Chains A and B, each alone.
Chain A
Amino acid sequence: MPRGKAAKLWGVCVPDLPGKNAIEVRGVRKVFGAGEAQIAALDSVSVSIRENEFFTLLGPSGCGKTTLLRLIAGFDFPSEGEILLYGDDIAPLPPFKRPVNTVFQSYALFPHMTVAENIGFGLEMLGKPKAEIGARVAAMLKLVKMEQLAKRRTSQISGGQQQRVALARALAPQPKVLLLDEPLSALDYKLRKEMQIELKRLQNETGITFIFVTHDQEEALAMSDRIAVMSSGKILQVGSPWDIYDRPAVRFVADFIGETNFLDAEVVSVSGDRATVKLSSGSAIKATFPAGTMPAGKVTIVVRPEHAEVMPAGARAPVLGGIIENIVYLGTDTHFHVKLADGPPFIVRQQNSKSGPCGFDKGENVGIEISSDVAQILKD
């Protein structure tokens, strides 16, 4: 019963309730520098990360996601606020007293040790008996499929293998939470795809809470149970990949993740969780809006390119109308860059379900149909 043992070891009480929080960040602020040159890397950040969750911090570089990870690991200390691990404030503890391990972006493997020594280092520092360390290292090597390379120096193995060793090293002491700081960014595309699946498998097998930092939205969507989108030291939205992609709350989230179309609209009426908005073309459509808000007046709505469809002008009364400015053929699908009748550009992505040309030409007048229930009203 590894969890119970860990609990005794660390003296942290772990109640066995479903859906409890592994990490709770409460009103954390982190300021670097002093006086005039002060920079707030994190500004009143609060977020709860559930047990056994694959949680991703997503955002552009400099958004504070790595800072938040370093605060949880203990390499930096928050200027304000608290960080709870299963209910206990760990913010003042040094990193070597936190049952939390990190997989570093650079892997940070010890070059003067072998693969096996690297993996066993954490256990050795915890004062585990030799036999237990040996068994655990062997199990870890098996878990990351590196049994053959146990005696190698870390400089004698490839980048992908180093990645696996870094993972095994961080998992070996059975941390309560595993922190991953853009661990896949140094790998090439194919290896990255493989490791994404591998990471998901490891998380399922070990049942450890993963906190994953990345700037790659595709990676975040593919792996996460929940995603927190960050920008300028703030968390803008937390939700499932579907929430984040299909129901973005603010413009930054909609813009950062995937391609999207922004349209001006005016709220006509609200009933339940749907609002009816009038577009500048005159047509009215239904749109969803972020929970806890009450849309009114002039708003911006977003429509994903794949949720719209191009059709010959005049076939039916379309929602929008415009002229095709450009057609980009991408193999699996085709992008239509349409200039709407009242000015703004609009992108439609259509899957190439049939072979052959798409049947539209540049400069052609077309109508754009938007499927029901896909438009989302933004908060800002």
Chain B
Amino acid sequence: MASAAELAKTRARRDVRNRWLLSAPALLIILLAATGPLLIVLVYSFLAPGAYGDVKWQFSTDAWVSVLLERDIFDDTLSIADAHLSIFWRSVKLALGTTLLTLLFGFPTAYFIATRPERMREVWLFLITIPFWTNLLIRTFAVLEIIRNEGVVNKVLLATGVVEQPVQMLFTDFAIMVGMVYVYLPLMVLPLYASMEKLDFRLIEAGYDLYATRFKVLRRIIFPLVKPGVIAGSILVFIPSLGAYVTPSILGGGKNLMLGNLIELQFGQGRNWPLGAALSITLMAVVMVALLAYVRNAGDSEVRHG
């Protein structure tokens, strides 16, 4: 008969084996669908471009150099690639703007839903998720239909005599921002709601009772307590905004490029796969730096408060 210690050992061994078996499908997907392709992208970024797309298998750092610098055609000197920089800057600017605006609109929305009676909350959440059922392209074209020169907004403005000429909204940064805020708003509302739902609303009463005005209750009690939701929502909105492709290409009209469009350009018309790969990895690096900064900052203030 096996002793208790031996039995325990066998069981522990079996537990470990089961754990590996159970996590195998997930690990396999991560390896095949995430880590593997990412490695290919990394390798491609150090190769030379082929004539008709594709890559030539020879080591080259040209792609990485041209992420930020450009070679003059005539005298072969390097200078800062203004075009790329302005696209980087616009992407970061628009992504940050989108994050802030979704937070601005999403916070009261989430608060509103979280303070409804339990049954109504489900209805409101359902309404929030409805746009997810529709294709992104269709939703983006819907925004286009609203803000184009002959669109609903301009028609109303012209009819009421507010403006003489239609306001050019389409093909501007504003248009891209409107589109992205609309598309990514649910991604902000849902995590915000999740943390607000857990909020003990008696704490808010306690704040009012201790002479805190509405604004101070928001800043000193509600905001610190729902901060995990704010961070999660901001990350969920910032990352896809930074790499957005569909929205800027339709609403920006191909003039106002964002990083996603630039990358697409290199793999498509540009026929410079290594540069596209290098830009993709740069985008990832920007996201990671932003995330680290954000999380570090959030962690710091947490310590300060307590």
Contacts and interface: CB of A to CB of B under 8 A. Distances in A.
A95 B306 contact: no
Interface stretch (B131-139, B153-161, B209-217): B209-217
B212 A96 contact: yes
A231 interface: no
A211 to B, nearest CB: 14
A125 B216 contact: yes
A170 B206 CA distance: 9
Contacts of A122: 210-211
B225 interface: yes
Interface residues of B, number: 19
A110 B206 contact: yes
A170 B205 CA distance: 13
B198 to A, nearest CB: 11
A258 interface: no
A166 B284 CA distance: 48
B208 interface: yes
A74 interface: yes
A336 to B, nearest CB: 47
A180 to B, nearest CB: 12
Nearest to B221: A110
Nearest to A154: B306
Nearest to B211: A125
B210 A173 contact: yes
Contact of A108 (B205, B225, B306): B205
Contacts of B212: 96, 121, 125
A108 B202 contact: yes
Contact of A126 (B205, B211, B306): B211
A114 interface: yes
Interface string B214-253: 0010001100110000000000000000000000000000
Contact of A113 (B200, B202, B208, B306): B306
B230 to A, nearest CB: 14
B225 A113 contact: no
A75 B205 CA distance: 7
B305 interface: yes
Interface in A47-70: none
Contacts of A106: 200, 202
B203 interface: yes
Contact of A96 (B209, B225, B305): B209
A105 to B, nearest CB: 9
A94 interface: yes
Contacts of A121: 207, 210, 212, 220
Interface in A73-131: 73-75, 94-97, 100-102, 104, 106, 108-114, 117, 121-122, 125-126
A101 B211 CA distance: 9
A153 interface: yes
Contacts of B202: 104, 106, 108
A108 B224 contact: no
Interface string A244-261: 000000000000000000
Classify chain A's interface size. Answer: 20 to 34
A173 B212 CA distance: 12
A330 B138 CA distance: 79
Contacts of A304: none
A101 B209 contact: yes
A104 B208 CA distance: 13
Nearest to A127: B211
A173 B206 contact: no
Contacts of A173: 210-211
A114 B211 contact: no
A108 B208 contact: no
A153 B220 CA distance: 16
Given A112-B305, A114-B306, A73 B225 contact: no
Nearest to B225: A112
Nearest to B204: A108
B225 A111 contact: yes
B152 to A, nearest CB: 38
Contacts of B210: 96, 101, 121-122, 125, 169-170, 173
Contacts of A114: 306
A102 B211 contact: no
B206 A102 contact: yes
Contact of B306 (A100, A112, A125): A112
A95 B203 CA distance: 13
15 contacts: A73-B209, A74-B208, A75-B209, A94-B208, A95-B209, A102-B209, A104-B202, A108-B200, A108-B203, A112-B224, A113-B306, A122-B211, A126-B211, A153-B306, A170-B209
Interface of B: 200, 202-203, 205-213, 216, 220-221, 224-225, 305-306
Interface of A: 73-75, 94-97, 100-102, 104, 106, 108-114, 117, 121-122, 125-126, 153, 169-170, 173
Given A94-B208, A112-B306, A121-B212, 6 more contacts: A74-B208, A74-B209, A96-B209, A121-B220, A125-B211, A170-B210
| 5 A-B pairs with least C-beta separation | A122-B210, A108-B206, A125-B211, A95-B208, A108-B202
